[in-house]
Amino acid sequence: MTTVFDFTVNDIHGQAKSLADYRGQVLLVVNVASQCGFTPQYTGLQSVYERYHERGLEILGFPCNQFGHQEPGSNEQIEQFCETRFSVGFPLFSKLDVNGTGADPLYKHLKHAAPGILGSERIKWNFTKFLVSKDGSRVTRFAPNTKPEELVSAIEAALNA
């Protein structure tokens, strides 16, 4: 069975990163954008990261420019924005597509593993969140308007599983 840990993505500096490096950790995978109404969720994501990282949570941020062109910057600009504006300490990755023919294979997998409303696999907007179990067998999708703080019970359950 294919899991998230079978994929390789590029980090924010363009270097290949195997997600197998995160095996055994709970992952929160989020498509992010710098100029979105949900951008302030970076604060909540960083807070949740600081609270649960030592217990085995890893947050992975994937910039995406497919929704209202709200992530127009380069990877370098995105990284600088996240560090200076929100003190983001969780890993960021290279900008990618989450929908369409050019969708990254990781996102194709996540969307299939955890479809949205009415079984739709399409990502509706920035800050859609996928919570992945330690072994990669369970993936749960959360809507963009679900604040990171609202995921605490699901994160704790995944960490304790």
Residue 64 appears among annotated catalytic residues: no
The torsion region of residue 5 among left (phi > 0), alpha (psi -120 to 50) and beta comes to alpha
**Hey, is 10 helix, strand or coil?**
strand
Cα 2 from Cα 77, distance rounded (Å)? 33
Q: Annotated catalytic residue: which of 27, 30, 33, 36? A: 36
**Contact status, residue 145 vs residue 44, Cβ threshold 8 Å:** no
**Contact status, residue 56 vs residue 24, Cβ threshold 8 Å:** yes
Catalytic residues: 36
